[in-house]
Structure 1
């Protein structure tokens, strides 16, 4: 049975975006899949049988790409999922301008601009904005400084829009997964053990995200130690400073990072 509600997912060609799309298809939504590469979007669509799913090849960081997306929505949208994101890992001192600009533009500016452009369609459907952030948007991790900054910004944007739209008909949900097993994992795989990261599959993230979306939650964090750490971070940030700072200074962590950057 086709659900008449229309869902748009950016970054739908791989990783969490693909998993969110498959989960949405199983719920019968009318899907609009957005990404930069036609072949990966088509591969996502091939994972399920939803004749109404549309693939829109567009770059969310450009005005032209966002215009294509607005045209595809055609005046009404029930759920916008801002999922597209990029990651660069390393010492800030070694980070190129291009890496910082790519993360800022993709992870923060693009979701803000696309949300702005789609507000009329969301108002028509009394819809919901969903921003896929990260636990790193609460707990800023060393060697992920640029990425953490963009996710802090996305969390702030989510809170601001929730308040700006309060009293209206548009809801806002912020989803904060922990590290996830996707192709992006290769960028930080050497740090998983020394930084004691717990990784979820994209499928687990998608299930938990859709549970939060359908319940109209304001925010959602993974089950486990990270949820506790977020609470400690908000109340007693110096405790997290000491714990994570010690991990960052550990010779094993630095050796793993340097080895990964040289490979």
Structure 2
């Protein structure tokens, strides 16, 4: 796909990878509809883009009426859509025992249901473009499930699966699907896991390098794009020799910094009255 002159809708465009994707798209000569929940971050992204008739659409894509509103607005303004980038997402971090039902529902609604439903709403515009593409931003944790990221890993496994299914279903209509799996990236969301970066040996990429890699993949009509480096080998090991990955992660989890993080997280959960199943019998679970 030749990117210059194409029109793209990018969710979560107010910060992080979404902002970088929007700015890079404008540099490549694309026209972008920026979508996000908050007006100020969208304005900040907009201010850094090369002018080209870009649109700002404030709204929460987890809300059905918002998704339909975006579809109807773009139908009136553009009449078609070349690229949909499902980037908006949450990165919950912490032990599963300290996770509430609301948090679990919110991450699945944002990371899985919203991209599925928004893709469905955009199909008439994507088909009208003739040759178009959906980009689903996942994560390397959608291949390598990690402790303390259970809900996030589950959601990104789902994004990887829905990407493959959508690709096979939509190919006859001229709609391609690219699954992007970056590793940890330097964004506001990474602040919540700052204590885990060193003990879990995470490498944080710059969001602009991630965005550039994704747009190159779109321009080449690739089915998937992964971060370069040792993570690619771990993805292969996870599929073929998962016990090797188990041992490596188990060693990381024994690090004193991880133990300290777990202790503090459980203490914070107690102060928030997060209920553990064992308490129903009057017993306090040992941590």
Greater Cα offset, 238-247 or 97-106: 238-247
The CA deviation string for residues 114-153 of structure 1, in whole angstroms up to 9 with x for no partner, is 0011111111112100000000000011000000000000
Separation (CA, whole Å) in 2 of partners of 1:24 and 1:213: 11
Q: Which of residues 183, 202, 207 in structure 1 aligns to 2:188?
A: 183
Greater Cα offset, 206-215 or 253-262: 253-262
- Work out whether 1:10 is the aligned partner of 2:19: no
CA contact (8 A) 2:12 2:18 kept: yes
Tell me the SS of whatever aligns to 1:205.
Answer: helix
Deviation at 1:262, TM superposition (A): 6.0
- Work out whether 1:46 is the aligned partner of 2:47: yes
Residues 159-174 of structure 1 aligned to structure 2 (within 5 Å): 159-174=164-179
- Runs of 5+ consecutive residues of structure 2 not aligned to the other structure: 269-287
- Runs of 5+ consecutive residues of structure 1 not aligned to the other structure: none
Q: Which of residues 242, 245, 252 in structure 2 aligns to 1:240?
A: 245
Q: Which of residues 183, 194, 205 in structure 1 aligns to 2:199?
A: 194
Separation (CA, whole Å) in 1 of partners of 2:118 and 2:107: 16
Tell me the SS of whatever aligns to 2:172.
Answer: coil
Aligned residues: 262
The CA deviation string for residues 60-100 of structure 1, in whole angstroms up to 9 with x for no partner, is 00111101210232131000000000121111011011111
CA contact (8 A) 1:58 1:68 kept: no
Which one has the largest radius of gyration? 2
Q: Which of residues 85, 92, 113 in structure 2 aligns to 1:88?
A: 92
Shift in CA distance, 193/48, structure 1 to aligned 2, threshold 3 Å: same
Shift in CA distance, 258/210, structure 1 to aligned 2, threshold 3 Å: farther
Q: Which residue of 2 aligns with 1:140?
A: 145
Separation (CA, whole Å) in 2 of partners of 1:114 and 1:20: 18
Q: Which of residues 100, 109, 124 in structure 2 aligns to 1:105?
A: 109
RMSD of aligned alpha carbons: 1.6
Q: Which residue of 1 aligns with 2:276?
A: none
Separation (CA, whole Å) in 1 of partners of 2:103 and 2:184: 20
